[in-house]
């Protein structure tokens, strides 16, 4: 099994720039989920947030995707983007066949 590689992406939500280190699996869908390659030089104002904090604040959502190899993966994307554009794109070497909002809620 090949080792995963990671890189920094720029995520912009509500005019705030966030720096996220994600797997390069997102390269095939970055335009659909609201990511961009980190520019060089980096923006001066970069917030460093975790994905769970972005989801709790309403800036991002979890989307469950079905791949052509019958596996399901949960990915993150901007809350103001449409997840329907994911179908037919490539993620981690597999084609996305279906997408839905992940609605599982953990009750404490």
Look at 66 and 43; give whichever has higher pLDDT. 66
Residue 43, pLDDT score: 86
Look at residue 100 in the predicted model and tell me its pLDDT: 92
Q: What is the pLDDT of residue 44?
A: 85
Mean per-residue pLDDT for 14-36? 91
| Residue 44 phi, psi (nearest 5) | -65, -45
DSSP letter (8 states) at residue 47 = B
pTM of the model: 0.82
CA–CA gap between residue 93 and residue 69 (Å, rounded) = 10
């Amino acid at each position: 099994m090949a080792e995963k590689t990671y890189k920094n992406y720029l995520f912009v939500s509500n005019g705030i720039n966030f720096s996220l280190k994600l797997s390069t699996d997102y390269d095939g869908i970055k335009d659909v989920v609201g990511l961009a390659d980190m520019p060089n030089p980096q923006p001066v104002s970069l917030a460093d947030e975790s994905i769970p904090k972005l989801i709790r604040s309403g800036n991002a959502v979890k989307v469950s995707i079905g791949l052509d190899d019958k596996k399901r993966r949960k990915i993150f994307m901007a809350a103001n983007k449409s997840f329907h554009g994911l179908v037919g794109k490539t993620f981690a070497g597999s084609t996305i066949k279906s997408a839905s909002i992940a609605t599982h809620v953990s009750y404490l």
